[in-house]
Structure 1
Amino acid sequence: MTSYLDYAATAPIRTEVIDSYAQDLRLLSQNPGNPNALHAAGRAAREMLEDARKRVADSLGADAAEVVFTSGATESNSLTVLGALKAAEEAGQTPVFLTDGLEHPAIAKLGDRCRENGGQVLIAKVDELGLIDTADVERLCSENQVSVAAFMAVSNEVGTIQPVKELAEIAHRHGVKHVHCDAAQAVGHIEVDFHEWGVESLAFSGHKIGAPGGIGVLLIKRAIAVVSDRIGGGQERSLRSGTQNVAGARALASALEIADATRAEETSLMLQLRAQLIAGLDPRATVTKVGQTSPHIVHLTLPTEHPEVILMMMDQAGVAVSAASACAAGVPRPSAALLAMGRSEAEAMGALRVSLGWDSTSEDIAAFLAALGSALDAAARFEKGRN
């Protein structure tokens, strides 16, 4: 049986969500209706969809009209950032995209697209603790006409909680009209309040909080100008055309409500497991020093430049974790986030992420700790054989 410690990649569907999801699927199968149709069956499906929309809004401090259902955070990020850059271009401006060195590829690669289309990309500095440098954000916003700024609420690699509200205030003070937040690792783990944070848009995925894959949300204020490339029937405020996933939207709403109701209890569990992990850690491994972190992510630095060996050995031992370094065509690459934090290339190669969830147990941590020593030994032998 696998000790699953990779919740930041995806989480199991919550048992309660499976039950309600199955019930909705049966109902929609017995009474099929497109939520955009005008007949009774369509109106019933629309009522189910709008109920989910309101529940999501209520959980996140938003208005129902600000909730757009998508396939997940990646699509939500793309829709809003590229849409904002396109709107700037159509207004006769040079698109300018501000982000930072910690971002997930779902945001970072949008910068590549911006450059390809003749726009400018500004990268704010981060400090050694993984916090975005607010002074540098202020400088970049004051010196440039930024079209859209995008920041993660919680780093997907090291777990640092970013000062989203402060970053939004700085950007707005210098005339930035659109601040976007990738909250994929925040929703369900820390309190998220869309209006309180003051951002114009926010993205997250259902599969990170116990809903099925393929459903996500983009919160976006009504007055924000974005140009969508999703051409079709104009569903979801003409931002994401196509027939909506009614059962998926309701499953996401249920998972979100459960996560909110159980957050305090689950946070306590994760902090206990985190303490157990750190106390029993092999002395060759170190906990990466970062700022305030989300309780579900523990980031480790290991003395190896071959994280794939560590992962293979952990997998053989029945433990699922992730390397924080990227892998392209089977070739390990150093973590861009750790490099941005000023770590050496060797440190950025030997990064391991352990991420916890509501079903994580003390036995899972014990299995990880037992497997780590052997995995480090195997990596050392592998590196010695290559030298």
Structure 2
Amino acid sequence: MMPIPYGRQHIDQEDINAVIKALSSDYLTQGPAVQSFEENFAKYVGSKYAVAVSNGTAALHLCALALGVKPGVNVITTPITFAASANCVRYCGGDVYFADIDPETLTLDPVKVEELILSKPEGYFSGIIPVDFAGFPVNLEKFKELTNRYNLWIIEDACHAPGGYFRDSTDLKIKCGGGSFANLAIFSFHPVKHIAAGEGGMITTNDEKIYRQLLKLRTHGITKNPNELNENHGGWYYEMQELGYNYRMPDILCALGESQLKKADEGIKRRREIAIKYDEALKDLPITCRSNRSESGHAYHLYVIETDQRLELYEFLKTSNIYCQVHYIPVHLLPYYKENYGDQSFPNSETYYSRCLSLPMYPSLSEEEQDYVIMKLKEFYG
């Protein structure tokens, strides 16, 4: 069996043709493919606005800047995420506080968040960054209740869940990144994600003022919009109105992203088929499957199991050319955060981390490959 990774991109001829078309056009960057991708992505998630940027981390950074994170600002997020969800606050000079996860959903626990808020003086915290982990959508309605009560904002880290959704208290389908409850949401187009553009990210929002600010921040803080200029010396004139960054996503990658976007729903359908097959095949093994299949809006970025023999299983599968991964080392245990914030304990996150393993999960995973993974799991457990 050829090597089977935990995740990978699937590029077809349609994707290749889209990139060739962009390469043959007049624009390699800052051209029409960027706006086209933004508009179609906004339609896909149900938001008013979308801003394409160079990667998901840049998206988080710009969101934090747009919401006023700076020294003295305190923000809450989950320990079970990639470091960027917390790092974006530190980039702006703010401070990060962690709250533990719900052991059932593996996402930020709103009860723990409220306990943390109440442990500090009124107004101590400015915002929350919940993460749609492994494709499981955070119930943002519950967090919106907290933000209304304590005057906070929300950045939804939806990198794992484009096309995912949850149902609110009225049974309305709420799409990840649609902006119904969060001020901003971000996505990633890294090769292992649902939409693979090589690199790239997207910010979505329903707030026009923030949208306009994000457009400037991704391009050095510069605008040429006549309606935003303090002066106007001619068609060539621009103003740098604040300190921004070069976080642009080029037309070549946007063309690939838009081509992938057309197949996104088909990809989620295939991911759900893979999850269902794993659920059925592994149900009698001494492991816990974390697909949350009962949640119809799960986007299945990862298929996570929990086992008391994680290291042994990881090494056994590796010798069989099956390359699993661990998602994630809790952020508060990383040396940088321990050095800057001291030793902290979040029992649910640490227990989960000690047992978790992500099995191969991607739309191009073949039936033969999945059967091989299942066979090797059963072999390991005898």
Task: Specify if TM > 0.5.
Answer: yes
Query: What's the counterpart of residue 143 of structure 2?
Result: 167
Rounded to whole Å, the distance in 2 between the matches of 1:327 and 1:127 is 14
What is the CA deviation profile of residues 191-232 of structure 1, one whole-angstrom value per residue up to 9, with x for unaligned ones?
A: 735445321111111231242211221224333378988673
1:118-133 alignment runs, 5 A limit: 119-129=94-104, 130-133=106-109
Query: What's the counterpart of residue 285 of structure 1?
Result: 287
Rounded to whole Å, the distance in 2 between the matches of 1:79 and 1:167 is 21
Greater helix proportion: 1
1:1-387 alignment runs, 5 A limit: 1-2=1-2, 4=4, 6-7=6-7, 10-25=8-23, 27-28=24-25, 31-32=26-27, 35=30, 46-63=31-48, 66-82=49-65, 84-86=67-69, 89=71, 94-110=72-88, 117=93, 119-129=94-104, 130-141=106-117, 143-153=122-132, 155-156=133-134, 160-176=136-152, 178-190=153-165, 192=175, 194-206=177-189, 207=191, 208-220=193-205, 221-224=207-210, 232=220, 234=222, 240-241=245-246, 244-260=249-265, 262=266, 265-266=269-270, 268-279=272-283, 283-288=285-290, 292=295, 294-304=299-309, 307=311, 310-324=313-327, 326=329, 340=346, 342=348, 348-372=353-377
Return the offset for 1:73: 1.3
Secondary structure at 2:22 match in 1: helix
Rounded to whole Å, the distance in 2 between the matches of 1:104 and 1:192 is 22
What is the CA deviation profile of residues 143-178 of structure 1, one whole-angstrom value per residue up to 9, with x for unaligned ones?
A: 43432321112x14xx543102331342134222x3
Q: How many residues matched?
A: 334
Rounded to whole Å, the distance in 2 between the matches of 1:23 and 1:278 is 44
TM-score, normalised with respect to structure 1:
0.71
Q: Percent identity?
A: 15
Matched letter for residue 127 of structure 2: V
Are 2:59 and 2:187, in contact at CA under 8 Å, matched by a contact in 1?
A: yes
Rounded to whole Å, the distance in 2 between the matches of 1:340 and 1:277 is 32
Gaps of 5+ in 1: 36-45, 332-338, 378-387
Are 2:61 and 2:91, in contact at CA under 8 Å, matched by a contact in 1?
A: no
Gaps of 5+ in 2: 166-173, 226-241, 335-344
Rounded to whole Å, the distance in 1 between the matches of 2:28 and 2:303 is 45
What is the CA deviation profile of residues 291-343 of structure 1, one whole-angstrom value per residue up to 9, with x for unaligned ones?
A: 945445332222336x3x64444233222321235499xx9xxxxxxx84627
Rounded to whole Å, the distance in 1 between the matches of 2:224 and 2:42 is 14
Change (3 A) 1:172 1:104: farther
Query: What's the counterpart of residue 239 of structure 2?
Result: none
Matched letter for residue 150 of structure 2: H
Are 2:107 and 2:131, in contact at CA under 8 Å, matched by a contact in 1?
A: no
Are 1:204 and 1:216, in contact at CA under 8 Å, matched by a contact in 2?
A: yes
Secondary structure at 2:196 match in 1: coil
Rounded to whole Å, the distance in 2 between the matches of 1:327 and 1:100 is 8
Secondary structure at 1:353 match in 2: strand
What is the CA deviation profile of residues 29-83 of structure 1, one whole-angstrom value per residue up to 9, with x for unaligned ones?
A: xx45653xxxxxxxxxx333322221111112122xx322112212211222255
Return the offset for 1:21: 2.2
Secondary structure at 2:137 match in 1: coil
